[in-house]
Chain A
């Protein structure tokens, strides 16, 4: 019983802290700056026809970093002020259940071959990345962070933290993985003669998570649906399985 009370106190305490921080002058200022930068980034992204290189996240983060540099604010100050954004990632992750549910029929129809494809991608991508980073003698925290690079950022950050990685770095690895994959996908598929929309979608969603899924959605409905499935299933499996090993 005591444990339950402690848990409730911890959750409410965190929520209170985040809300209070947002209501301070600097909290409101940085939230406004971030949202403004994001709106501009969205405009640019749309003007460029949704090219993955101009992903709104990289544009927004660069713009915020410039404002921080001009106002001489450190990264840890900013993170404190904009903590509510990070908190909201929790509910946003839960919201992924909605597209998963909408694709449920598709998951059932394609069945085992679909799940095997996702599992293969879900194992190959982190294993290869870990192998490379291990060979370069990077510190353990970076090795652990590499393992979560192919799953969707909110899950990657929490799973990364659970296995001894660096959550902030996980978010960056994830977004870079997505951008690289989305840019390279058309050429890769052409060289390997991957013509099946289902296969393209599964690979994009499983290996390149949300950015890959956005790319797949631009290509077609089938690609997008399968990418959503890949993103969801791989994210859930990786987040459940990795903590068991480390």
Chain B
């Protein structure tokens, strides 16, 4: 019961950060996502506090674990742009497959050069 209360309170705190982020972005008319501002507010708060907050971690967990389901409406929305997608299918497939693999390999290679000897302590 106590854990459930903590989860709900933590979740509400996260929602509050989100709404605050949206509010700030709207008021400042800034071209950045409100959710990102909310993320930075929460991260800043946690860093100032310097310890993990039990309620926040509990409140965040279900959304982090099951984030996939939240994207379903967005993916279904592709149906609305089907003509544009099929008209550019070749380019899209090339851009997604080839460049993702190249970028992945290149980034890993560079990271390996840069992080050499800096392994875990």
Contact = CB atoms under 8 A, between A and B. Distances in A.
Interface of A: 3-4, 6-8, 10-11, 34-35, 37-38, 55-58, 60-61, 64-65, 68, 74-76, 78-79, 82-83, 85-86, 88-102, 104, 109-110, 113-114, 116-117, 120-121, 124-125, 128-133, 135-139, 141-142, 146, 149-150, 153-155, 157-159, 162-163, 166-173, 175-177, 180-181, 184-185, 188-189, 191-192, 194-196, 198-200, 202-204, 206-208, 210, 212, 222, 235-236, 239-240, 243-244
Interface string B9-27: 0010011011101110011
B5 interface: no
A101 B119 contact: no
A101 B119 CA distance: 20
A67 to B, nearest CB: 11
10 contacts: A82-B73, A95-B14, A117-B110, A117-B114, A120-B111, A124-B103, A125-B103, A136-B94, A168-B77, A171-B75
Given A101-B52, A239-B36, 20 more contacts: A6-B26, A57-B75, A61-B76, A65-B79, A82-B72, A95-B64, A99-B64, A100-B43, A117-B110, A117-B114, A125-B99, A129-B95, A130-B95, A132-B95, A142-B92, A167-B77, A194-B109, A202-B107, A202-B108, A203-B111
Nearest to A82: B73
B96 interface: yes
A98 B41 CA distance: 11
A129 B73 CA distance: 25
Nearest to A76: B80
A206 B107 contact: yes
B16 to A, nearest CB: 9
A68 to B, nearest CB: 7
A155 B98 CA distance: 23
Nearest to A63: B72
A192 B109 CA distance: 7
Dominant secondary structure of chain B at its interface with chain A: helix
Given A95-B14, A141-B84, A188-B105, A132 B68 contact: no
Given A85-B72, A125-B99, A169-B81, A98 B57 contact: yes
B110 A120 contact: yes
A10 B56 contact: no
Interface of B: 11, 14-15, 17-19, 21-23, 26-27, 31-36, 38-43, 46-47, 52, 56-57, 59-60, 63-64, 66-81, 84-85, 88, 90-92, 94-112, 114-116, 118-121
Contacts, number: 339
B56 to A, nearest CB: 6
A4 B68 CA distance: 33
Contact of B112 (A92, A132, A194): A194
B75 A208 contact: no
Contacts of B115: 110, 113-114, 117, 196, 198-199, 202
Given A76-B80, A132-B98, A141-B84, A38 B69 contact: yes
A132 B91 contact: yes
Given A141-B84, A169-B81, A207-B107, A196 B72 contact: no
